């Protein structure tokens, strides 16, 4: 096996993306320092200097962890590929399991397990050091361990049959070169099923969901749903406080199986009319069909990716360039899923640009069906409670942020 031109293209892309990410982080850090001693205009009455500086310190601490994560995860990708780890694992399993589909499934499952253990120290640090230090962590070691075990079991139960089915389709000769269309259908059906069963079957494995028992708020919400022409199969409160004091709200599920979920941490400290405004924002996403648009574009993206994989799977340079000697369906799948993010990295700003446009549209929808001032005050509370930075760097924000900055959102609402 020899490295080739593709090895260098891959190395160049990965190096460029790492440098770009570190440079953006550095800019963000500078922007936080610059505004550290003054609360940005528009927030002087609602956010104290102390809160603002806490948000600044929190953002800087998160950036520091992120530096390490960027460098470390790149190192891991390189070890898997040109470092030869994947090739070694491929040889290891092929000497033990002769059925190619079973062998491929074992190969992929073992990579997923190893990857989740590599990620473990970062996840421990984030929860028990970083979040703890700023007073956001509510997770006990017991919850953390239980979550980890549940996640691993759930992934194995759901993913192994899916991977097996994908490898089976890739290996039957009767569908020939068009296997990727069949695989795409299977993956799309899998995702739709997950979205459908998530609210009622998967989310309750991790959290408790109680029906909202605040009658005044409930009638406000039902009134809003009626005004805006929505239906739902229930309003629930989730025990988010089990893990973190960060608050959130979401509207989940597809078809008739839709639920409105509020974190208990969000309900605390918000007035009813502010909660109504937050929900109106979420409904705005549905009204403008953002959720559907996102889903359709991700299906198109996955079809295009699979078509590309359909081509790459027959190219020896693709395997050899990424450190794998023996072409196979399972190595092609893993190499592709490692290499794709390196190249699609350069598309992230576009997807975030669309997302920020959607946020403005949802805000406008909320403002037309509830009082804009309620959304402003609830957003301000959210930024304060979550210690979100009010003065991000423009380029950093353009690249990373799926939501417009607080200053821009509130300016528009006014």
Which residues form the catalytic set?
282
Residues 6+ apart with CB under 8 A from 123: none
- Token pair 């953006």 is found at 24
Can you name the residues that pair with 327 across neighbouring β-strands? none
- Using the rule CB under 5 A, give the single segment among 114-122, 126-134, 352-360, 406-414 that binds Zn ion: 352-360
Q: What span, in angstroms and rounded, lies between the C-alpha atoms of 305 and 315?
A: 15
Q: Which residue has the tokens 């350069």?
A: 346
What beta strand segments (E) does 206-351 contain?
209-211, 235-238, 249-252, 259-263
Instruction: Tell me how far, at minimum, the Cβ of 214 lies from Zn ion, in Å.
Output: 23
Closer CB to Zn ion, residue 342 or residue 382?
Answer: 382
Please, which residue, 180 or 365, has the CB nearer to Zn ion?
365
- Cβ pair 24, 396 in contact under 8 A: yes
Helix (H) or strand (E) holding 112: helix 100-125
The site that binds Zn ion (CB under 5 A) totals a number of residues, namely 2
Output the smallest distance, CB 355 to Zn ion, in A: 8
Q: How far is the CB of 185 from Zn ion (least distance, A)?
A: 30
DSSP β-bridge partners for residue 137:
244
Shortest CA distance to 97 belongs to which of 106, 108, 89? 106
- Listed in sequence order, the residues at least 6 apart from 378 whose beta carbon sits closer than 8 Å to its beta carbon are 270, 274, 275, 277, 278
Q: What is the distance, to the nearest Å, from the Cα of residue 203 to the centroid of all Cα atoms in its chain? A: 16
Which residue, 285 or 384, is less far from Zn ion as judged by CB? 285
By the 8 A CB rule, do 207 and 242 touch?
yes
The C-alpha atoms of residue 187 and residue 159 are separated, in whole angstroms, by: 11
In contact, 263 and 207? CB cutoff 8 Å? no
Nearer to Zn ion among residue 29 and residue 282 (C-beta): 282
Nearer to Zn ion, 89 or 367 (CB): 367
User: Which window, 97-105, 142-150, 222-230, 355-363, contacts Zn ion (CB under 5 A)?
Assistant: 355-363
CB of residue 281 vs Zn ion: minimum separation in angstroms?
Answer: 6
Interface mask (CB under 5 A) for Zn ion, residues 301-340, using x and -? Answer: ----------------------------------------
* CA–CA distance, 325 with 316 (Å, rounded to integer): 9
Distance CA 282, CA 373 (A): 16
* Distance, CA of 165 to CA of 22 (rounded, Å): 39
What is the closest distance, in whole angstroms, from the C-beta atom of residue 380 to Zn ion in the complex?
16
Residue 363 Cβ vs Zn ion, minimum distance, rounded to whole Å: 8
Q: Nearest distance from residue 408's CB to Zn ion, in Å?
A: 14
Q: Which is nearer to Zn ion, 169 or 413 (CB)?
A: 413
Shorter beta-carbon distance to Zn ion: residue 81 or 397:
397
Q: Which is nearer to Zn ion, 183 or 382 (CB)?
A: 382
Distance CA 21, CA 230 (A): 41
Residue 214 CA to residue 270 CA, distance in Å, equals 13
- Give the three-state DSSP class for 244: strand
Residues of span 356-395 touching Zn ion by CB under 5 A = 359, 362
Shortest spacing between CB 285 and Zn ion, in angstroms: 6
Query: What whole-number distance in Å separates Cα of residue 240 and Cα of residue 220?
Result: 23
Q: Which residues bind Zn ion (CB under 5 A)?
A: 359, 362
């Amino acid at each position: 096996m020899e490295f080739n031109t593709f090895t260098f293209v891959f190395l160049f892309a990965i190096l460029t993306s790492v440098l770009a990410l570190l440079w953006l982080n550095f800019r963000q850090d500078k922007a936080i320092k610059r505004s550290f001693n003054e609360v940005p205009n528009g927030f002087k009455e609602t956010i104290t200097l102390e809160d603002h500086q806490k948000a600044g310190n929190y953002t800087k601490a998160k950036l520091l962890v992120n530096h390490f994560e960027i460098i470390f995860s790149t190192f891991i990708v390189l070890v898997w590929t040109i470092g030869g780890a994947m090739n070694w694992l491929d040889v290891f399993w092929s000497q033990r399991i002769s059925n190619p589909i079973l062998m491929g499934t074992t190969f992929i499952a073992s990579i997923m397990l190893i990857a989740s253990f590599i990620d473990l120290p970062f996840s421990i640090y984030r929860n028990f050091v970083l979040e703890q230090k700023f007073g956001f962590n509510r997770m006990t070691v017991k919850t953390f361990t239980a979550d980890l075990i549940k996640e691993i079991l759930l992934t194995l139960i759901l993913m192994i049959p899916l991977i097996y089915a994908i490898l089976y389709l890739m290996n039957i000769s009767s569908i020939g070169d068009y296997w990727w269309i069949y695989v795409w259908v299977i993956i799309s059906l899998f995702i739709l099923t997950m979205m459908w069963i998530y609210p009622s079957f998967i989310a309750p494995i991790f959290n408790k969901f109680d029906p909202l028992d605040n009658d005044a708020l409930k009638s406000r919400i039902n009134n809003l749903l009626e005004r805006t022409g929505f239906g739902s199969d229930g309003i629930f409160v989730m025990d988010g406080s089990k893990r973190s004091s960060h608050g959130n709200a979401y509207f989940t599920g597809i078809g008739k199986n839709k639920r409105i979920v509020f974190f208990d941490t969000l309900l605390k400290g918000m007035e009813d009319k502010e909660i109504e405004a937050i929900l109106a924002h979420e409904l705005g996403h549905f009204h403008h069909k953002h959720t559907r648009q996102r889903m359709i574009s991700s299906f198109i993206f996955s079809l295009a990716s699979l078509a590309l994989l359909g081509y790459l799977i027959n190219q020896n340079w693709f395997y050899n360039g990424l450190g794998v000697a023996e072409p196979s369906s399972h190595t092609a799948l893993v190499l592709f899923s490692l290499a794709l993010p390196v190249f699609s990295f350069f598309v992230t700003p576009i997807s975030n640009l669309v997302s920020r446009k959607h946020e403005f549209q949802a805000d406008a929808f909320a403002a037309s069906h509830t009082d804009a001032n309620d959304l402003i005050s609830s957003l301000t509370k959210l930024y304060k409670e979550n210690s979100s930075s009010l003065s991000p760097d423009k380029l950093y924000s353009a690249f990373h942020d799926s939501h417009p900055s607080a200053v821009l959102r509130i300016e528009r609402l006014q």
